A = this chain, B = another copy of it.
């Protein structure tokens, strides 16, 4: 079965090297050799990661230049962020509750404890 687009995106992001490659491409296009440099990794190993990223639509590779530069393609990241968005209330809620609790505590201290 062909994995759905979102699953392919999350699966491609489930690797620290691939996330680091995307981080590098966020600063501008790069060749495979340039991408391999910061990692203690062979070119074929890096190429394998690039294929996963390319299949997931997270990078595009130049067709004309001989060095075939890789560039970041952010659309799938947008879909991933959109999927996560409705869950935001769960972590913001717990922060809001903490903030409300701390404010109530301060107010209480102000009422009972004076200015210490």
Query: Given the known A-B contacts A6-B19, A91-B74, A91-B78, are A86 and B11 also in contact in the complex, defined by CB atoms under 8 Å?
Result: no
Contact of A84 among B3, B6, B15, B81 (CB under 8 A): B81
Proximity bits, A15-54, B CB within 8 Å = 1, else 0: 1100100100010000000000000000000000000000
Partner of A11, one of B11, B72, B88, B91: B11
Chain B: minimal CB distance from A14 (Å): 4
- Given contacts A7-B15, A10-B13, A14-B11, whether A84 and B84 have CB atoms under 8 Å apart is yes
Is there an interface contact between A81 and B88, defined as CB atoms closer than 8 Å?
yes
Count of A residues near B, CB < 8 Å?
31
Closest B residue by C-beta to A13: B10
Q: How far apart are the CA atoms of A8 and B15 in the complex, in Å? A: 9
Contacts of A90 in B (CB 8 A): 26, 72, 74, 77
User: Which of A's residues lie within 8 Å of B, judged by CB?
Assistant: 3-4, 6-11, 13-16, 19, 22, 26, 72, 74-75, 77-78, 80-81, 83-88, 90-91, 94
